[in-house]
Amino acid sequence: MILEARDVRRLYGAFVALDGVSLSVREGEFVSIIGPNGAGKSTLINVLTGVLQPSAGSVRFKGKDIGGIGTVALTRLGMARSFQLVQIFPDLTVLETLQAAVVSRLGLGTRFLASLAGCGHVESEAREVAALFNLHGKVHTLTRELPQGEKKLLDVASAFALKPEIILLDEPTSGVSTADKHAVMEILVDAAKRMGLRAIIQVEHDMDIVFGYSDRIIALHQGTVLADATPSQIEADAQVMDMVVGRRRGAHTTSVAPHPTPSPGTRGNSWQPSPPQGEEGRGSSRDARLERRGEG
């Protein structure tokens, strides 16, 4: 078990945003959290990422209680996140954005007099991540000048550059055109595979993305877990489909894997770290991850 929440309650004054939410995320899982507006998804994300302290209950990441631990500390523990609204550094280039994540991960931020340009490994790691997200051709572009879809990719890529063990993606395809959504997800899943992530959690409204990529779906409704099951089980549950999805998927689609070019093995556990690809950078990334796990 990598991440576990037990009987989490979160109150805002008298308002109960989360009421006894329990969930767990296991090694190799791609878990989607869904629910209508007001279901408590945002609060749950903030509790899971240590931003909010649960009013009751506990959240444990790799066995450690992370309730209210704070974003920076959680990043150091190996959890990264991206945001629903695109978060970029407008006046930094793509490369600088990714370098910032690498600098942070390697603990080089307090090197006051070291030359960033002289930290060759920082740049090479940043370029490696840029390549994984198809941003290698734009490394010197100011991020504010990127198209919206690439801004979103960079937002996610910078979280990946932290080489986290688990990543929480808040609507990773929001703001991306419908035509590009699956391409973004393919890039993301492929990157997770190559970088050796242990689990992905996403909050997503697009049910094609949710049903197409998830191993498990957690449906929230009014601050409680309505269902925690596989996509096919959720799809077979008329009540959940009506209350959370808002429609019967079968009425519109006949496939639970609707993306046009589903890559083999994007479902189940098969997105877990693949063997080194023979490419120097990719292989070394995975090795670095395995070493870090060994230390832990």
Partner 1 sequence: MRTAVTLAVVGGAMVALPWLVPAYYITLMLPFMAYGVVLLGLNLLFGYTGLVSFGHALFIGIGAYTGAVLTTRLGMRQMELILLAAALAAALVAAPVGALCVRYVKIYFGMLTLAFGMVFYTFLLKFYKLTGGDEGMRMLRPYLLGQSWEGFSKTAYLIGPYYYFSLGVLVLATLLMWRIVRSPFGLCLRTIRDNPLKAESLGVSVPRFRWYAFMISAIYAAVGGALLATPTGNVDPTLAYWTHSGNIVFMVLLGGFASFFGPLLGAFVFIFLQDTVMSVFPYWRLVFGAVLAVLVIFAPGGLMGLFARRLPAEVSRG
Question: Is position 109 an interface residue for partner 1 (rule: CB under 8 A)?
Answer: yes
**Interface residues for partner 1 in 162-191 (CB under 8 A)?**
162
| Least Å from the CB of residue 112 to partner 1 | 5
Pick from 178, 173, 149: nearest CA to 83: 173
Question: Is position 53 an interface residue for partner 1 (rule: CB under 8 A)?
Answer: no
Question: Is position 92 an interface residue for partner 1 (rule: CB under 8 A)?
Answer: yes
Q: How far apart are CA 8 and CA 92, in angstroms?
A: 38
Nearer to partner 1, 74 or 241 (CB): 74
Nearer to partner 1, 201 or 244 (CB): 201
CB atoms near residue 37 (< 10 Å): 7
Nearer to partner 1, 68 or 283 (CB): 68
Question: Is position 101 an interface residue for partner 1 (rule: CB under 8 A)?
Answer: yes
Question: Is position 290 an interface residue for partner 1 (rule: CB under 8 A)?
Answer: no
Given 2, 69, 103, 132, the residue binding partner 1 (CB under 8 A): 103
Pick from 243, 215, 219, 255: nearest CA to 231: 215
- Residues 49 and 71 sit within 8 Å (Cβ to Cβ): yes
| Least Å from the CB of residue 253 to partner 1 | 34
Q: Name the token pair of 170.
A: 């808040």
- Residues 171 and 209 sit within 8 Å (Cβ to Cβ): no
Interface with partner 1 by CB under 8 A: which range of 95-103, 179-187, 194-202, 262-270? 95-103
Question: Is position 99 an interface residue for partner 1 (rule: CB under 8 A)?
Answer: yes
| Least Å from the CB of residue 143 to partner 1 | 9
| Least Å from the CB of residue 85 to partner 1 | 10
Question: Is position 120 an interface residue for partner 1 (rule: CB under 8 A)?
Answer: no
Contacts of 275 (CB under 8 A, 6+ apart): none
| Binding interface with partner 1 (CB under 8 A) | 71-72, 75-76, 80-83, 87-92, 96-97, 99-101, 103-105, 108-117, 119, 122, 155, 158-159, 162
